[in-house]
Amino acid sequence: MKTTNDNGGDVRLTQIGKTYGSFTAVHPLDLTVPQGSFFALLGASGCGKTTTLRMIAGLEEPTQGTVHLGDQDVTHLPPYKRPVNTVFQSYALFPHLDIFENVAFGLRRRGIKSVKKQVEEMLDLVQLGEQARKKPHQLSGGQQQRVAVARALINHPKVLLLDEPLGALDLKLRRQMQLELKRIQTEVGITFIHVTHDQEEAMTMADTVAVMNAGRVEQLGSPTDLYENPKTTFVANFLGTSNLIEAEVDTRSGDEIVLKAGGCKLSLPQARCSAPATNGGKVLVGVRPEKISLTHADDAGEIPEGRNRVTGRIADSSFIGVSTQYVIDSPACPELEVYAQNIDRDARLVPGAEVVLHWNPAHTFGLDAAQDIDAGVETVEPDEGVAA
């Protein structure tokens, strides 16, 4: 994140909310996006992220709350009076104008006469100098995407809003554009607010990610922070995969909590437990699949002391090149996932084999057991009606 002492360009949303009739698209939320940062709003479709973005752009009137750009209250300004530009989903390029005129559109509307130099510079920035006189439909998806970025950036907005800008591109091009957008953001230093449902995209590009679910911000932080220290089951499941084990608090000593699950004892640092842990209470113990090591039950004695251990039987394994993914059936949890890197493969680790799973207690996190354990699991489409 770019650190600037001058917060005159921050985007501040204060208690901003949007309801359509009885449906609440966005629950009142507070959000501050520091100037010059690359900020991502991440969530499944219908979670309110696009509505939030459109309220910043002025395309949607908030039902309550205010939008500030720096010190300026823009809540009730129409879009054409806001120093904000948007890269629309599927670009919304003007089909009757060529690339040059598309990019020059904003400048001309503000009465700037000599646009040639600026437009050419901007087209060079997005590497489309050659295409200036073509019409949008003559360009490929990736090129159109870059025109959309250039058309917005040329106005030097205080904030650039990107609404699923890479959604229409194929995977390879998407990767390329992610890096490209990141490069452009670093080069121009403008605040980018990026809406996406792709957690990998958000993590690759953004300095700060706000994970949204059902019209609320679930958690906000750097990609690493969100991934390593999820605070809710939704975040734990939506960003990557998590193994969540229902456990009972056994003892607490200093900054360590010891829990019981299916006859195994698990240790969890107090600092990494976001749930109130009282003796006898329930906590969801989480661990990422790649943090877990797998040892055949015959070699259980070789596992170093002090690691969390869970016993189980391999239910399924799939070899995917860089790693092998195992599904383990354990008394502690019916389906534990383990990703093991293919460095030294143990030939005994086949479905049916008895194994011990073990990991560093520092990689364990604790969540409030009152939540839905499956929230944010990818196969489950979140029901929009739930948000109301």
Partner 1 sequence: MAAVTRAPAPPAPAAPQQKPPRKRGRLTPYWLLLPGILWLVVFFALPMIYQASTSVQTGSLEEGYKVTWHFVTYWDALSEYWPQFVRSVLYAASATILCLLLGYPLAYLLAFRAGRWRNLLLILVIAPFFTSFLIRTLAWKTILADGGPLVGALNALHVLDVTSWLGWTSGDRVLATPLAVVCGLTYNFLPFMILPLYTSLERIDARLHEAAGDLYARPVTTFRKVTFPLSMPGVVSGTLLTFIPAAGDYVNADLLGSTDTRMVGNVIQTQFLRILDYPTAAALSFILMAAILAMVTVYIRRSGTEDLV
> Residue 371 and residue 326: Cα distance in Å, rounded?
26
Please, what is the minimum distance in Å from the beta carbon of residue 371 to partner 1? 37
> Residue 126 and residue 294: Cα distance in Å, rounded?
47
Among 6, 21, 95, 253, binds partner 1 (CB under 8 A): 95
Residue 86 in contact with partner 1, rule: CB under 8 A = yes
Q: Helix, strand or coil for residue 315?
A: strand
Residue with tokens 């970025």: 149
- The enclosing H or E element of 143 equals helix 141-153
- The enclosing H or E element of 223 equals helix 223-228
Residue with tokens 């969390």: 308
Of 135 and 291, CB closest to partner 1:
135
Please, what is the minimum distance in Å from the beta carbon of residue 198 to partner 1? 21
Among 63, 90, 118, 143, binds partner 1 (CB under 8 A): 90
Residue 77 in contact with partner 1, rule: CB under 8 A = no
Alpha helix segments (H runs only) across 293-339: none
Among 42, 57, 115, 214, binds partner 1 (CB under 8 A): 57
Give Rg (Cα) of the chain: 25
Among 63, 66, 75, 92, binds partner 1 (CB under 8 A): 92
> Residue 165 and residue 192: Cα distance in Å, rounded?
12
Structure tokens belonging to residue 353? 């084999």
Please, what is the minimum distance in Å from the beta carbon of residue 149 to partner 1? 13
Binding mask 143-182 for partner 1 (x = CB under 8 A): --------xx--x---------------------------
Of 50 and 232, CB closest to partner 1:
50
Strand intervals (E) in the chain: 11-20, 23-33, 38-42, 64-69, 72-73, 84-87, 159-163, 191-196, 208-213, 216-221, 243-253, 256-261, 264-269, 282-287, 293-296, 308-319, 323-329, 336-341, 354-359, 365-368
Size of the residue set binding partner 1 (CB under 8 A): 26
Residue 135 in contact with partner 1, rule: CB under 8 A = yes
Among 9, 46, 48, 106, binds partner 1 (CB under 8 A): 106
Residue 36 in contact with partner 1, rule: CB under 8 A = no
Residue 84 in contact with partner 1, rule: CB under 8 A = yes
Of 157 and 366, CB closest to partner 1:
157
Q: State the residues that interact with partner 1 by CB under 8 A.
A: 57-59, 78-81, 84-86, 88-90, 92-96, 105-106, 109-110, 135, 151-152, 155
